[in-house]
Amino acid sequence: MIKILIACAMGAGSSLMMKMKVQEVLEELGVHAEVYHCPISEAKGIAGKYDLVLTAVNFVPSFKKAQEEGVKVIGIKNVLSAKEIKDKILESGVIHQGGEH
């Protein structure tokens, strides 16, 4: 099962909305995943335990260490755009349509 971490500044607003969109996208793709959302302050310390991190574009540099450890980090411009989220998840290569890698 793929593990996805979603982070925003406070871990309550945009990350929760993004989590709901990610779950919609994963259901559409037929992918089972563990999806967790939290504030950046927590996410930086636990990102290495995840396959994929989704965050606002401006927070991507916060995850440099996780990227160096092989975690895919995706910056999202519109956290309410299921299309952007789906396209970027598929582009990452972590999953593909029809299931997990």
- If one looks up domain 2-100 in CATH, what number appears? 3.40.50.2300
Q: Residue 11: what pLDDT?
A: 73
Q: How far apart are CA 43 and CA 7, in angstroms?
A: 6
Could you report the per-residue pLDDT of 51-92, keeping only the tens digit for each? Answer: 999 999 999 999 999 999 999 999 999 988 999 999 999 999
Q: Band of the pLDDT at 100, cuts 50, 70, 90?
A: low
Domain positions in the chain: 2-100
- Chain position carrying tokens 């793929």: 2
**18: Cβ contacts below 8 Å, ≥ 6 apart:** 6, 8, 37, 54, 76, 79, 80, 85
- Chain position carrying tokens 């927070």: 59
Is the pLDDT assigned to residue 22 strictly greater than 90? Answer: yes
Per cent of the chain over pLDDT 70 is 94
Average pLDDT score over residue span 43-56: 96
Q: Residue 65: what pLDDT?
A: 95
Q: Band of the pLDDT at 12, cuts 50, 70, 90?
A: confident
Q: How far apart are CA 15 and CA 12, in angstroms?
A: 6
State the pTM of this model: 0.91
